[in-house]
């Protein structure tokens, strides 16, 4: 039986030839980059995080790994505590040591690339009650690796756990872990929202949610992506409060453009989602491309000013820093 190969919206290709890859490697040798800047490290608020069951919090571990507390659930995205990625050592220690992470209810995996799915980290995090949510096509591999409490989803499908509705949404990317499994599982992001019961006053109402005031903001974890029309579509479908958006691994742009947003494209996508807050990610942890953490942040700041986005709407976290989100905070003007 032939393997299913997954695609992007409009079949946008991220394929690169061996010649293009060699060209990038040759160009890289001539570049001199300043890596003196490091993402600030914050002492994690461990006592608070272990005790918290009420507030919405977002703590940056590094790269695309966040510890999120949402509507009473403890959630980790794209778990990677690895000290190395290939031959490159981690640029900064994880924001919270893996042994200090509070017990997890859910782990969200955006795709199977090694810098987003580190099996050794996963084995240390998973308990009997932890549900792992993965893209379509990845569950069978996870089961083979011993992770049996695993749920996979197609784009736009959702599941509910503990009053939280989790929807798997599109991204523009690709994936591979071996020479033979390119794009045999999908990729995407996740939207977290409180699962409100339907309020029906008469038979004319449809099944859409009637949301009471207050409650946690909708969180959109973008995953790994190039710029694509999906940002606008996702923004039209959800009332997003906070977007966790990649800004790094974009240089050289001629090579990375279809799979990784530039800082300018990240802000464009943020605006198109209609989100109120953006937390940058996917920078400052591993040398995956030729841009530096400082370059990504500087370009983002220049573009923020050009677009006239209020500085308070871009929350740059340090490793280990916790953003506590008041319910009204996600709806700033």
Residue 209 is assigned to a structural domain of this protein = no
Burial 227-263 (b: 16+ CB within 10 A, else e): bbebbebbbeebebbbbbbbbbbbbbeebbebbbbbb
In-domain check, residue 245? yes
Give the residue carrying structure tokens 């403890």.
74
Q: Which residue has the tokens 């340090």?
A: 318
The mean pLDDT values, 10 residues at a time, for the chain of 333 residues are 83 84 80 90 98 96 98 97 90 97 98 96 97 97 96 98 96 93 96 72 36 77 97 97 97 90 98 98 94 96 98 98 78 43
- Per-residue pLDDT at 271: 98
Does the pTM exceed 0.85?
Answer: yes
Q: Does any domain span residue 28? A: no
What is the pLDDT at residue 198?
A: 45
Domain for residue 9, yes or no? no
* pLDDT for the residue numbered 213: 54
Q: Is residue 110 part of a domain?
A: yes
Q: Which domain holds residue 67?
A: 41-199+214-325
Can you give the CATH number for the domain in which 221 is found?
Answer: 3.60.15.10
Identify whether 333 is part of a domain: no
Tens digits of residue pLDDT in 168-224? 999 999 999 998 899 999 999 999 999 875 443 343 333 333 344 568 999 999 999
271 within domain boundaries:
yes
The domain total for the chain is 1
> Does 25 reside within a domain?
no
Residue corresponding to tokens 């394929």: 15
**In this structure, what token pair is assigned to residue 207?**
């099944």
Residue pair 299/257 in contact (Cβ under 8 Å)? The answer is: no
pLDDT of 27 reads 81
Quick one: pLDDT at residue 197?
52
């Amino acid at each position: 039986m032939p393997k299913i190969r997954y695609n992007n919206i409009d079949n946008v290709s991220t394929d690169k030839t061996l010649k293009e890859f060699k060209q990038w490697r040759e160009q890289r040798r001539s570049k001199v980059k300043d890596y003196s800047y490091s993402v600030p490290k914050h002492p994690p608020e461990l006592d608070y995080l272990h005790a918290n069951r009420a507030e919405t919090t977002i703590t940056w571990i590094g790269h695309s790994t966040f510890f999120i507390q949402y509507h009473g659930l403890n959630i980790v995205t794209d778990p990677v505590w690895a000290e190395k990625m290939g031959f490159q050592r981690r640029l900064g220690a994880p924001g919270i040591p893996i042994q200090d992470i509070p017990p997890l209810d859910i782990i969200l995996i955006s795709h199977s690339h090694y810098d987003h799915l580190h099996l050794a980290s996963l084995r240390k995090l998973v308990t009997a009650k932890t549900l792992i949510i993965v893209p379509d096509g990845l569950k069978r591999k996870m089961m083979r690796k011993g992770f049996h409490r695993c749920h996979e989803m197609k784009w736009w499908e959702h599941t509910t756990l503990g009053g939280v509705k989790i929807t798997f949404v599109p991204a523009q990317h690709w994936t591979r872990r071996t020479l033979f499994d390119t794009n045999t599982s999908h990729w995407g992001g996740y939207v977290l929202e409180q699962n409100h019961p339907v309020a029906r006053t008469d038979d004319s109402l449809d099944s859409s949610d009637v949301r009471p005031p207050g409650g946690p903001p909708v969180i959109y974890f973008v995953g790994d992506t190039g710029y694509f029309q999906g940002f606008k579509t996702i923004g039209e479908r959800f009332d997003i409060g906070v977007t966790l958006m990649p800004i790094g691994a974009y240089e050289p742009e001629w090579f990375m453009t279809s799979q990784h947003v530039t800082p300018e494209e990240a802000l464009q996508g943020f605006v198109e989602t209609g989100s109120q807050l953006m937390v940058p990610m996917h920078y400052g942890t591993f040398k995956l491309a030729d841009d530096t953490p400082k370059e990504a942040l500087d370009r983002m700041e220049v573009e923020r000013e050009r677009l006239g986005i209020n500085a308070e709407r871009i929350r740059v976290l340090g490793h280990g820093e916790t953003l506590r989100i008041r319910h009204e905070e996600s709806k700033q003007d």
